Amino acid sequence: MSTYAASDLRAFGTALFRAAGLDGNKPEVSATVLVDADIMGHTTHGLALAPRYLQEIESGSMAKSGDPKVVSDRGACVSWDGQRLPGVWLVSNAMDLAVERAGQYGTVTVAIGNSHHIGCLAAYLPRATDKGYLAIVSSTDPSQRTVAPFGGRQPLFTPNPVAMGIPTEGDPILVDTSASITTNNMGARMVREKRKFPGQWVLDAAGMPTDDPAALTAGGSILPAGGLDHGHKGYGWALIAEALTQGLAGFGRADDPKGWGACAFVQVMDPAAFGGREAFVRQTGWLAQACRDNAPRPGVERVRVPGENAMARRRAALAGGVEMYPGIIDALKPFADKFGVALPR
C-alpha cells in the first residue's frame, strides 16, 4: 500500500469532481466523504468509487447541479426527492440538517428518494456523534437486485446496510453492517482479483451455494446475513431497511427506476431530549467497556467494540497518512490525465 496525506487525497478528489462538472460545494463534500471512508478502513467504499462516479457524471446519470426537491418538511420529519444528485452530498446535507434541528425537536428524520449512490454509511456518523448525538443511516438501491430473500434464488434486494453512531464517554460505537453476508463492491473486487469467498456466501443462478464470486455476474445472488442457516435474520433486516428508505421516501422498487442510485434514511436523536446526555453516555460507556472486558474465547485476542478499529485508523491516518488499497489511485490516473489534475504524492 502507498501512503498519502488525507488533505492531498481530498484536494485530488475535489479537483477531479470539479473538473467533471459538479457545482457548488458538491466536489469538496463528495471527496471528503469518500476519503473519510478510506481513512476509516472501508476501502471498497472510498475513492475506489470515484472512477465510477466520474463515469456516471459524464454519462448524465449523476446530476451535476441543483438542489433536492423538498417533498415534505414538518420540522422533525423531512422528505426529499434527490433528483439524481450526488448521494454523498445529499446524505451529508441531510445529516447536517438533522443535527442542526435535533436540539429543538429531539429526534429529526430525513428520507431521501431518487438519489445517486451514497457511499460508506459509517463516514457520516461522526458528524453527529462528535456533537453527542445518536445517529442512524440506512440505504438501498431500488434499481439494483443482487440479494435474494431467504429461501429464494432470484435477486431482489441490494445489501441494504444500516449504520448507527452511538456516543460514549470516549470513542463512539460505530456500527455499519449490511443485511447481506457481503456487499456488491466487495464481490466485484473479489472477481477482479480472482479470489474466492471464505465461505459459501452466494448462490449461483440455480440456487446452489458457492464460494465463487463470479456467480454474481452469471445470474446468482448474495445470501442474506446469517447465510444458509439463519438467513431469515438478514432477510428481515433487509425488509426493515427497504421500509425506512424507499418506503418513507415514497420512491422505490414499485416505480422500476433505472440507473445506479439510492434511497436513504437519516435520523439523529439528542439524548438530552430523553433521559439526559450524561445518563446516556454513562450507560453506553459502561456497556462498551464491559464488552472490551469480556473474556475472549479461544483463538481470539480480545473483544472489540464496533468502530474501535475505524477510530484508531482515523487517528493514525490523520497523523501519519492514509494507506490506500492497491490499484485505487491507478484507476483514477486516466481521469487525472483527462482533466489535467495532478496525482497526489
How would residue 34 be classed by pLDDT, with cut points 50, 70 and 90?
Answer: very high
Digit-coded pLDDT (tens) for 130-179: 999 999 999 999 999 999 999 999 999 999 999 999 999 999 999 999 99
Q: Tell whether the model's pLDDT for residue 272 goes beyond 90.
A: yes
Digit-coded pLDDT (tens) for 307-321: 999 999 999 999 999
- What is the pLDDT at residue 185? 87
**Do residues 205 and 220 make contact, with C-beta atoms less than 8 angstroms apart?**
yes
Of 249, 251, 248, 261, nearest in space to 84 by CA:
261
* Mean pLDDT value across residues 319-328: 95
Identical fold at 66-181+228-279+309-325 and 182-222?
no
How would residue 282 be classed by pLDDT, with cut points 50, 70 and 90?
Answer: very high
182-222 placed in CATH 3.30.60.50: yes
How would residue 330 be classed by pLDDT, with cut points 50, 70 and 90?
Answer: very high
* Mean pLDDT value across residues 293-320: 96
* Mean pLDDT value across residues 122-126: 97
Q: Tell whether the model's pLDDT for residue 1 goes beyond 90.
A: no
**CATH fit for domain 66-181+228-279+309-325, picks 3.30.365.10, 3.40.50.150, 3.30.1370.60, 3.40.50.2300:** 3.30.1370.60
**Do residues 305 and 173 make contact, with C-beta atoms less than 8 angstroms apart?**
yes
Cβ neighbourhood burial of 152 (10 Å; 0-12, 13-18, 19+): middle
Query: Which sequence spans correspond to the domains of the chain?
Result: 66-181+228-279+309-325, 182-222
Q: How much is the mean pLDDT over the chain?
A: 97
